[in-house]
Amino acid sequence: MKIVSVFAVITVIIFANIANAADDMVLIPGGKFLFGEDKKKIELGDFYIDKYEVTNAQYKKFKSEHAFPAGKEDFPVAEISYFDAEEYCKAAGKRIPKAEEWEKAARGTDGRIYPWGDKFESKNINSSETAKDGTVKVGSFEKGKSPYGVYDMAGNVSEWIDAWDSKKQYRITRGGSYFDGADLTKTISTLMSIPDDVHEYIGFRCAKNK
- As beta bridge partners, residue 117 has 114
Decide: pTM greater than 0.85.
Answer: yes
Model pLDDT, residue 132: 84
CA distance 28 to 104: 8
* Structural domain boundaries in the chain: 2-209
CA distance 159 to 152: 10
CA distance 76 to 18: 15
Q: Is the pLDDT of residue 159 over 70?
A: yes
**CATH superfamily for domain 2-209:** paralog of FGE (formylglycine-generating enzyme) (3.90.1580.10)
The model's pLDDT over 47-101, given as tens digits with 9 standing for 90+, comes to: 999 999 999 999 999 999 999 999 999 999 999 999 999 999 999 999 999 999 9
CA distance 50 to 95: 10
Q: Mean pLDDT of all residues in the chain?
A: 91
Model pLDDT, residue 179: 92
CA distance 7 to 88: 18
Model pLDDT, residue 160: 98
Element (H, E) at 46: none
pLDDT band at residue 6, thresholds of 50, 70 and 90? very low
Summarize the confidence of residues 117-141 as an average pLDDT.
Answer: 95
